[in-house]
Amino acid sequence: MRNIVHRHLGKMVAGTTIAVAGTAVMVAVTLPGTAGADDSGTRAGQSAPQTAGAAGAAGAGEAAAGSGRAVPPGVVEAAPAEGQQGEGRDPLTDDELQRAEKIALSRQLFRSSESVDGDRGPQPLGVDLAEPEADEVGRPDAPRRADVTFYDYRDDTLVTRTVDLGTGKVVATGTQHGVQPPLSRAEKAEAAGLLIADPLGSGLKADYKDATGKALTSPDQLQLSGAVYRAAPGAQPAALDQCGEHRCVRLFPKVKNGPWVDARQLVIDLSARKVARIDR
């Protein structure tokens, strides 16, 4: 079966073709840029009708060419400069994002928590503009606040700190267990690293070798998507029963400039740093 997969790599297939290899499955997909390339409904040898705008632009170009005048190149305007402080309900600026995370990560939180790779300090998840209080809605002078979220792998706690961007102070702190927000890029990379190092990752590595001719040794060689996995009664091995309390990941890896690899049967428990296979 692996020889069949290897011979057919890179070929376009009508529909979706899945070739089983080892413990993972190659999924052939239409590459971006080729899908919908002829959405106008025309056939080879027939020209598509021009829109009024396109016809006008073509006529202007022909007129300029006929008069001997060069058509001036298009101009791309630079994005407006971003201020350090937003206003009202404007999205958080880059400066506000950085300041909010820095303010929220106190020395005490840093020393008492653990990131996804075992280092000191919680794992940053995101920074969002906080919702205004009921009596602040519509007020132009309402304070701008940011909700900063971290995940503490020391005890599987989601930590949310609200920062007042005007005063530079933390105004609220909340902790929750069993709450699993979307994964950060660093968490997906760590999950891929654990999978590559585990015996259950042999199928993924074999499929990568088939697609590229090279050994898979690092998450940097893959494009990674992923989703949080939660345990369901009787649906997984005992090793994954704590998923939901633990932070567990189902990865959807893709060979860079190549096919997707179906690894949905493999779940990585980031809290326990273990990999297990489910039956579905």
d(CA 64, CA 169) in angstroms, rounded, equals 61
List Cα–Cα distances, 244 to 65, 157, 192, 221, 247, in angstroms.
Answer: 66, 11, 19, 28, 6
Residue 39 has pLDDT above 90, yes or no: no
Residue 222 has pLDDT above 50, yes or no: yes
- pLDDT at 135 (0 to 100): 86
Tokens standing for residue 125: 């998840």
pLDDT average, residue stretch 5-26? 37
Which carries the bigger pLDDT value, residue 7 or residue 228?
Answer: 228
Tokens standing for residue 172: 């609220």
Please, are residues 184 and 158 in contact by the beta-carbon 8 Å criterion?
Answer: no
Highest averaged pLDDT of the listed ranges 61-70, 89-98, 137-146: 89-98
Please, are residues 255 and 264 in contact by the beta-carbon 8 Å criterion?
Answer: no
pLDDT average, residue stretch 37-54? 40
Secondary-structure breakdown of the chain: helix, strand, coil percentages, each rounded to the nearest 5: 25, 25, 50
d(CA 145, CA 132) in angstroms, rounded, equals 8
- CA dihedral for 88, 89, 94, 98, sign (positive or negative): positive
- pLDDT at 52 (0 to 100): 46
Polymer length of the chain: 280
Highest averaged pLDDT of the listed ranges 61-65, 136-140, 173-177, 233-237: 173-177
Number of neighbouring beta carbons within 10 Å of residue 93? 15
Region of poorest pLDDT, from 18-22, 163-167, 209-213, 252-256: 18-22
- pLDDT at 244 (0 to 100): 96
d(CA 150, CA 219) in angstroms, rounded, equals 23
Residue 279: pLDDT band (50, 70, 90) is confident
Region of poorest pLDDT, from 1-15, 66-80, 214-228: 1-15
Q: Is the pTM of this model over 0.75?
A: no
- pLDDT at 206 (0 to 100): 96
Q: What is the pLDDT of residues 65-91, one digit of tens each?
A: 555 677 777 777 665 555 677 888 889
Q: What is the pLDDT of residues 192-205, one digit of tens each?
A: 999 999 999 999 99
Q: Residue 18: how many CA atoms within 13 Å on its side-chain side?
A: 8
pLDDT average, residue stretch 136-160? 93
- pLDDT at 246 (0 to 100): 97
Residue with tokens 């190549």: 258
Residue 13: pLDDT band (50, 70, 90) is very low
d(CA 111, CA 121) in angstroms, rounded, equals 6
DSSP string covering 161-215: EEEETTTTEEEEEEEESS--PPPPHHHHHHHHHHHHHSGGGHHHHHHHHHHHSS-
Mean pLDDT across the chain, nearest whole number?
Answer: 80
Residue 15 has pLDDT above 60, yes or no: no
Residue 263 has pLDDT above 60, yes or no: yes
Percent residues over pLDDT 90 in the chain: 61
Residue 137 has pLDDT above 70, yes or no: yes
Residue with tokens 């940097």: 220
Residue 31: pLDDT band (50, 70, 90) is very low
